[in-house]
Amino acid sequence: MNQVFELSSAQRTLRVKADERLLRWWPTLAPHIPGVPATLPVPVPDTDTAVDVSGLDERAEARRVINAHLHRLHLTHDTVCVHATALTTPDGARAVLLLGGHGAGKTLVTTALALRGWNPVAGDVALVHISQDGARLVGGTSAFVVRTAPTARWFPHFPHPRPNSATADLRHLWPPAPIRNGVPMATAIWIRVDGDPHLSEVAVERLDTHTSTTVWWGASAHLVDRVSTTEPLRLVETEAQVRLRAALVDDASDQLPLTGLWGDPHLIAAAVEDITSSVSTVGQG
């Protein structure tokens, strides 16, 4: 029987129509939906719903559709869902965003920073609220999925829970740091791990405005850059919402211009620490 459930994501609510499978799927869905708690979603009286996943037979498809509508929901509150990992500093006072394409090494650098005492918040999608007062990290996906081969290569003494699997979720090692009212963003980094483990230094480049904005634009479309069984998920955005996202991306690029770092994940992690300590926090006030 279909019911309407209320999903809470970073203190915003999305209503979803689904059958009882949503509750069975939830333990494996929730870590890949940004900002939601692990607790089961709450059924509510049947009213107007934002998204209907009751006819979908695959949990991955349900996740894609829910995430696309969360993308739209957060946009209306000036928050972008960014394809990035995110961490807070060891004292929890500031946040850093690590951007990069698939396979760039975001989780490798996040792992290196976690081993240095940083607190992972988002393993794949980060929620960044953007305003005139600055940018704040308000949540993200809790799953922290690493590829086992590269992880074993760069962290040979790291205890791996699933050595015979292609990937593993390490969120149990670093439970996501609690985010309540948001954490001020200190900086954003565009990273790429180089394949040479013998590099002695990191290549550093400040991206120009156009390149920085383009990276932010692509990362901000991650949750709608998908095709469902029924339609391209980009269609959930209206023209006005696309323009709003473009304006938010412009602001994010101005407030958090990207620094590019290439090299060994350990050396990149050290460079991230240096950069973070040398910049004043955006949105501190």
54 with 166, same domain: the answer is no
190 with 240, same domain: the answer is yes
- Cα–Cα distance, 174 to 172 (Å, whole number): 6
Count CA within 13 A, CB hemisphere, residue 23.
12
Is residue 228 domain-resident? Answer: yes
Amino acid identity of residue 52, one-letter, is D
pLDDT at residue 161 in the model: 62
97 with 216, same domain: the answer is yes
Domain boundary among 75, 97, 129: 75
Count other C-beta atoms under 10 Å from residue 61's C-beta. Answer: 16
Three-state DSSP class for residue 217: helix
159 with 195, same domain: the answer is yes
Q: What is the pTM of this model?
A: 0.93
- Cα–Cα distance, 283 to 247 (Å, whole number): 18
112 with 204, same domain: the answer is yes
Give yes or no for a contact between 101 and 153, defined as CB atoms under 8 angstroms apart: no
45 with 159, same domain: the answer is no
In terms of residue numbers, what domain contains 230?
79-278
Q: Would you say the C-alpha torsion 124, 145, 270, 267 has a positive or negative sign?
A: negative
- Cα–Cα distance, 75 to 145 (Å, whole number): 26
Is residue 151 domain-resident? Answer: yes
Is residue 285 domain-resident? Answer: no
Is residue 25 domain-resident? Answer: yes
pLDDT in tens, the chain (285 residues): 889 999 999 989 999 999 999 999 999 999 999 999 989 998 998 777 779 999 888 999 999 999 999 999 999 999 999 999 999 999 999 999 999 998 899 999 999 999 999 999 999 999 999 999 999 999 999 999 999 888 988 998 877 666 678 888 988 888 877 787 899 999 999 999 987 766 678 999 999 999 999 999 999 999 999 777 767 898 999 999 999 999 999 999 999 999 999 999 999 999 999 999 988 644 443
- Cα–Cα distance, 80 to 98 (Å, whole number): 15
171 with 31, same domain: the answer is no
130 with 25, same domain: the answer is no
From first CA to last CA, the distance across the chain in angstroms is: 49
Contacts of 224 (CB under 8 A, 6+ apart): 68, 71, 72, 233, 234, 236, 237
119 with 211, same domain: the answer is yes
246 with 186, same domain: the answer is yes
Domain count within the chain: 2
